[in-house]
Structure 1
Amino acid sequence: MPPKILKKISKTGEVESQLTSTSKMANTELIAELPAASGAATLDPALRQVIEEITGNISSVISQKVDILTEMLKSQATEIKVLVGRITDAEDRIAAQEDGLDQATARIKKLEKETLTMAQRIDDIENRGRRKNIRVLGLKEGVEAGPGALKFLEKWLPEFLGVETKSGRIKLERAHRTLAPQPGLIQRPRPMLIRFHNYRDQQQVLEAARRAGSGDQPLMYQNSKIMFFQDFSADTMRRRKGFDAVKRRLREAGIQYSLLYPARLRIIRDGVAKIFNSPMEFMDSLG
């Protein structure tokens, strides 16, 4: 029970006791003071009787008032005890809820950690499934018309990049545009998704594209700039794209850099290599 409420109940009992005691004392003091008020002379019996009747009436009125106050105090004390019981019960329930909330919070944090780990594993599995894929940007819409995207790219890739093959073709499993509405004539063409039959062929094509595009002149086909990229999951691509502004600054500063899997920036400055896990981490390093 809260200390303040206990103190109020105790104080109520004290007031009740004091009221009863005051009533008795008032009656006794009135009777005892009668001889002193009349001096040494003996009071007339009739007068004494009148005084005693008046004193009795006063005592009766005081007793009635005290009884009413006593009943009120008893009623309040009962109500306070009921309220104390309810408050104690509420405090116990709140404490139980707080304990349950702490346990639920701990479980939620654990589940969030497990969910993040699972999401990272799923993303890694998806990226591993795309290891033999590349994205080709810049190929105009319709260049693959006729023979189809698969046959066109099997012959076009080695010819365009100068990759040596046994039959003049690179074996592909699938090739198609990204699943988006066909753009207009002045809009950027949709990327071409290519899946190789052999992982080595995919690596050979990417290496040839890097070598061909490492000079001052970009790769061009039909007056359109062509770019080759490793295919990644949507989440990994979003994270890697977050470094675009950083890469632009590094190119302007002439600093060598590379993007590591899945989305980490590696720069070499003054012969020292540094790796950054996010664009914010890189910006913080600049001070």
Structure 2
Amino acid sequence: MPNLRGQTNRQPPTPCPADSVAASSKQATNKQPATSPSAVSVATTASSNKTTNADNVAMAAGLEKTTTSSADNEELAVLVKQAVAEAIKEAIPTLVEDVVSQLTDKTQALVDAQVAVFRGEMVAIRAEISKCVDYMEKDENRVEEVDSRLSSSVSKLAEKHAQLEDKIADMEDRLRRDNIRVHGVPENAETLNVLVFLTDAIPRWFPNLGPVEIMRAHRLGAPKEDANGKPVSRTIIFKLLRFTDRDRILKAARGAAVEMEGRPIRFTPDYSPHTFRRRLAFSEAMDALQKLNFRTFLLYPAKLKVMRGGVSHFFNTPREVKGFINSLGE
């Protein structure tokens, strides 16, 4: 910082002209000899004029001195302002660095504290996740074990269900083994009832059959009409007293063509819905094989026998039959 004190030192003030005049006048007065009253009066007037002039000169000097002092003060103020500005300019970078350093230290301390807290939380979270993963692995192993057991149980249940379904179907088929279904008989062909109609018609259809005993007979379902309003022929089902009579009628039907009003009459065994669906699945394959000059026989409960040229083939599922047909094409 500049030495203001050195710059403001001033030279000692020069003697004022008025003071010099007054001193000279005093010395002259002291040296003058005594005079007359008139001379004294003239001298007094001259002295008064000189005193007035001296006062004016002193006032002018004072004004000049005051003006000089004001200029010096302004110059001093300017120098002080410049010095302060330079000092502030030099101090600002250091102050900024100090503030930035302090803020950086505080910020770093806060960041370190937050990072430490975050790391602690992450460690705790990792521990929890590890526990959850262990639990999940254990649960997954348990689920796999349970799934394996369930799969085994489901397989066994499915197998058991199929066995029971086949057994129930076999029992139902045995209950139906005395029944025959007749397809194609015109609606309302019976005059009284179906039982009387069949008792009279079967001997006429199969003269060489011999006597058979029919216990009961009826049509299946409610009456229906086609788009033209004509009644739709419903299937007739009748029960024989003996299953041997059923076999004789079915055998006679295979060797004779029965018709009514120009319509063919078909005779089929009465099977349970389960067995019927299994046998129906072979229909398409049987038609294809018959076109290839194969003789087809659908055995109970659902097994297809195929013969051509003295060679027989047996199939348990329609898929096996389709594979056989495809092999013939190759």
**Distance apart, 1:255 and its partner CA:** 1.9
Answering whether residue 239 of structure 2 is matched by residue 195 of structure 1, we say: yes
Partner Cα distance (2:171, 2:148) in 1: 35
Q: Distance in 2 between matches of 1:71 and 1:221?
A: 99
Q: Distance in 1 between matches of 2:209 and 2:155?
A: 54
Cα 1:200–1:90 change in 2 (3 A) is closer
Which position in structure 2 is the counterpart of 1:176? 218
Q: Is the 8 A contact 2:209 2:248 kept in 1?
A: no
**Matches of 1:112 and 1:223 in 2, distance apart?**
48
Matches within 5 A, 1:76-225: 76-146=122-192, 148-165=193-210, 170-184=212-226, 186=230, 188-212=232-256, 218-225=257-264
Mapped to 1, the partners of 2:321 and 2:243 lie a distance apart of 33
Are the aligned partners of 1:138 and 1:188 in contact in 2 as well (CA < 8 Å)?
no
Q: Distance in 1 between matches of 2:117 and 2:184?
A: 96
Q: Which residue of 1 aligns with 2:25?
A: none
Cα distance in 2 for partners of 1:187, 1:251 equals 33
Inter-partner Cα distance in structure 2 for 1:234 and 1:85: 56
How has the CA–CA distance of structure 1 residues 273 and 188 changed in structure 2, closer, same or farther, with 3 Å as cutoff?
farther
Q: Distance in 1 between matches of 2:204 and 2:283?
A: 30
Is the alpha carbon distance of 1:93 and 1:252 closer, same or farther for their aligned partners in structure 2, counting shifts above 3 Å? closer
Deviates more, 1:184-193 or 1:103-112: 184-193
Q: Quick check: 113-122 or 187-196, which moved more?
A: 187-196
Q: Which amino acid aligns with 1:190?
A: R
C-alpha spacing 1:94/1:211, structure 2 compared with 1 (3 Å): same
Compute the RMSD of aligned alpha carbons. 2.6
Q: Specify the alignment match of 1:285 in structure 2.
A: 324
List runs of 5+ in structure 1 lacking aligned partners: 1-56, 213-217
Match of 1:236 among 275, 286, 300: 275
Distance change >3 Å, CA 79–CA 207, structure 1 → 2: closer
2:313 counterpart of 1:274: yes
Letter in 2 for 1:189: S
Residue 189 of structure 2 aligns to which amino acid in structure 1? V
Aligned to 1:40: none
Distance in 2 between the 1:225 and 1:108 partners? 48
| C-alpha deviation, 1:222, in angstroms | 2.7
The secondary structure found in structure 1 opposite 2:149 is helix
Shift of 1:64: 5.8
State whether residues 267 and 275 of structure 1, in contact with CA within 8 Å, keep that contact through their aligned partners in structure 2. yes
Structure-1 residue corresponding to 2:53: none
Whole-angstrom CA distance in 1 between matches of 2:146 and 2:317: 37
Shift of 1:89: 2.2
| Counterpart mapping for 1:51-70 below 5 A | 68=113, 69-70=115-116
Query: Which of 1 and 2 has greater Rg?
Result: 2
Q: Residues 94-115 of structure 1, C-alpha deviation per residue, up to 9 Å, x if partnerless?
A: 3222222221222111111111
The aligned amino acid for 1:173 is M
Using the aligned pairs only, state the percent identity: 27
Query: In 1, distance between residues paired with 2:117 and 2:160?
Result: 64
User: 1:54-97 deviations in whole A, cap 9, x for unaligned?
Assistant: xxx9xx98x96797355543443233223322322232223222
Q: Which of structures 1 and 2 has the larger relative contact order (alpha carbons within 8 angstroms, sep 6+)? A: 1
In the comparison of the two structures, how many residue pairs are matched?
220
- Give, in whole Å, the separation in 1 of the partners of 2:282 and 2:128: 66
Q: TM-score, normalised by structure 2?
A: 0.60
Aligned equivalent of 1:5: none
